[in-house]
Amino acid sequence: MTHSDRNSPSSRLNRRGFLQKLPAIGAAAILTHRTASTATADNPRAIPVAVPVAPADAKGSTVTIRTETTLPIFAEADICVLGGSCTGVFAAVRAARLGAKVVIVEKQNCFGGVATSSLINIWHSIFDTEKKRQIIAGLTVETMERLGKRKAVVQPKNASNWFTFNSQELKIELDEIVLENKVRPFLNTLFSEPYLDSAGQLAGVIVDGKSGRGVIKAKFFIDATGDADLCVRLGLETYVRPMLQPPTTAAHFEGFDNGAFNSLLKKHGAEFGIPDGFYWGAYLPNTQTYMLAGTRIYGADCSNAKQLSDAEINGRRQIRAMLDMLRKYNPKNRTRLTALSSYIGIRETRHVKCLFQTSDDDALYGKHFDDAIANGSYIFDQHHQDKPGITFRSLDGTQNYVRPSYPSKGGRWRPKTAQNPTFYQVSLRSIIPPRIPNLITAGRMLDAGLIAYSGIRVMVNMNQLGEAAGVAAQLSLSQNVPIQKISAAAVRDTLKKGGSAII
């Protein structure tokens, strides 16, 4: 937009005009004050905006002061990806490889999301449950191969097993992948609110960063924020389950003695306020550093700002409590804390009501979809909120309730059958919200049943959702079709040509 466009009637939104436009996207919104921001020498372009904001969490805490302000335009692109985990990065890269001009917005100082900032360093198998057929490829494999060249990933001897990688090396690798693919990065940048054009259509996002507040304009948007921040602020229907899988603060330790930790935790955890739950960990490849994912914050919905803040502090408190427990009851222990995750690992918050929900039965019985965009074989792994431990459910009908230091409780969730499915699939429609023609989701906000989600949520699956979202977005733009009408066959075909395993 030029300086003169800025003052044209079509580019201005006054309060009444804005309110009239809102139904175009069905936004349940209020107007609020924004600090005025004018064009600067750095950025001569600016745009007047009226800002829709979802109601605040706390009751009676909203203010209405002013409705119009002028913001600089930070960038204009074909596709804007919000959230820069591997899901978001892979979405951006796949769209860029198809010729789109792409920007990516990430609130942390690096890409990778839970895999880097939250230190979670395992990607599960890319094979089916029989370990015979490769069901996942694309950027997951490309990234692991790149890390392999840096000795930053270990794949156990059985090639069909999981990858353990170095989260710090992954940060650098993702920087390189983003730059090589000419995706424009906006790190340390928080998406705040959507920007609607004079026709009431989603035309940009308002972001906050070190240079202040500004707008990124784009023709298409991918919400990969994990928490569906863009979708919820557009008034799309979302749901938060009453039994959310609890978040976990992970940490790096040196000298960690798993056996001693396990027995002390059972005996003395309660004394130190460490909740009974589940823990696991993994060494960073070729180091003595142990990543422990052992804390648990029950009842925290991390899409709520206060609960997120409390959970971060509680997670770090639990790490210190573990160290105190080890010091008191095992004085000879040499466990030292070397790093904390830079944000808490979040397993689940909001889901977006999409065109279709991949149901528990769809996943548990391995249903194949004509519009499948992802394949998974990771076990259904439900971290409980109402009791300690995890229930694992397998595609072969068995289940196992596991609680560290206690005997496991095996059984079946369905009777035996002669043949079992060996992988499950995710439908493209489970990541496409209704109504907004230029928006798709990618990542853990997908529309899936509780048990289905407990398996689909892992990163090798999220990566595939990202790649599919990037391809679908670019096809929607290049074919000028609303995303709700996109040809699933074309998405699958393009994914396959770009290296994905499409079945």
Ligand X SMILES: Cc1cc2nc3c(=O)[nH]c(=O)nc-3n(C[C@H](O)[C@H](O)[C@H](O)COP(=O)(O)OP(=O)(O)OC[C@H]3O[C@@H](n4cnc5c(N)ncnc54)[C@H](O)[C@@H]3O)c2cc1C
- List interacting residues with ligand X (CB under 6 A): 82-85, 87, 105-108, 113-114, 120, 122-124, 190-191, 224-227, 229, 247-248, 250, 293, 345-347, 443-444, 457-460, 462
Measured from the CB of residue 312, what is the shortest distance to ligand X in angstroms? 13
User: Which is nearer to ligand X, 184 or 457 (by Cβ)?
Assistant: 457
d(CA 405, CA 444): 30
Measured from the CB of residue 503, what is the shortest distance to ligand X in angstroms? 20
Measured from the CB of residue 248, what is the shortest distance to ligand X in angstroms? 4
Judge whether 297 and 344 are in contact, CB under 8 Å.
yes
d(CA 258, CA 277): 16
The counts of H helices and E strands in the chain are 12, 25
User: Which is nearer to ligand X, 21 or 49 (by Cβ)?
Assistant: 49
User: Which is nearer to ligand X, 97 or 124 (by Cβ)?
Assistant: 124
Structure tokens at 269: 């955890």
Measured from the CB of residue 244, what is the shortest distance to ligand X in angstroms? 11
- Sign of the dihedral through C-alpha 209, 212, 218, 223: positive
User: Which is nearer to ligand X, 21 or 423 (by Cβ)?
Assistant: 423
Helix then strand then coil, in percent of the chain rounded to 5, is: 30, 25, 45
Measured from the CB of residue 242, what is the shortest distance to ligand X in angstroms? 19
Query: Which among 487, 461, 268, 267 is positioned nearest to 371, based on CA atoms?
Result: 487
Measured from the CB of residue 496, what is the shortest distance to ligand X in angstroms? 23
Measured from the CB of residue 443, what is the shortest distance to ligand X in angstroms? 2
Q: Is 35 exposed, middle or buried (0-12, 13-18, 19+ CB in 10 A)?
A: exposed
Measured from the CB of residue 414, what is the shortest distance to ligand X in angstroms? 25
Measured from the CB of residue 460, what is the shortest distance to ligand X in angstroms? 6
Category of 221 on φ-ψ map: left (φ > 0), alpha (ψ -120 to 50) or beta: beta
Angle (nearest 5°) at CA 82 between 127 and 171: 60
User: Which is nearer to ligand X, 21 or 357 (by Cβ)?
Assistant: 357
Structure tokens at 59: 């009751």
d(CA 476, CA 478): 6
Measured from the CB of residue 480, what is the shortest distance to ligand X in angstroms? 28
User: Which is nearer to ligand X, 78 or 227 (by Cβ)?
Assistant: 227
Burial 84-102 (b: 16+ CB within 10 A, else e): bbbbbbbbbbbbbbbebbb
User: Which is nearer to ligand X, 21 or 448 (by Cβ)?
Assistant: 448
Measured from the CB of residue 346, what is the shortest distance to ligand X in angstroms? 5
User: Which is nearer to ligand X, 249 or 399 (by Cβ)?
Assistant: 249
d(CA 494, CA 474): 10
Measured from the CB of residue 348, what is the shortest distance to ligand X in angstroms? 8
Measured from the CB of residue 333, what is the shortest distance to ligand X in angstroms? 23
**Residue closest to ligand X (Cβ):** 443
Residue 358 CB contacts under 8 Å (≥ 6 apart), including other chains: 425, 426, 427, 430, 446, 447, 448, 449, 452, 456
User: Which is nearer to ligand X, 21 or 384 (by Cβ)?
Assistant: 384
Beta bridge partner(s), residue 53: 30
- Phi, psi dihedral angles at 91 (to 5 degrees): -60, -50
- Please report the DSSP string for 75-90 in residue order: EEEEEEEE--BHHHHH
d(CA 202, CA 379): 38
User: Which is nearer to ligand X, 112 or 421 (by Cβ)?
Assistant: 112
Task: Fill in the amino acid letter for 300.
Answer: A
User: Which is nearer to ligand X, 216 or 293 (by Cβ)?
Assistant: 293
User: Which is nearer to ligand X, 78 or 229 (by Cβ)?
Assistant: 229
- Phi, psi dihedral angles at 429 (to 5 degrees): -65, -15
User: Which is nearer to ligand X, 21 or 314 (by Cβ)?
Assistant: 314
d(CA 341, CA 249): 6
d(CA 468, CA 87): 10
Residue appearing with tokens 């005009």:
17
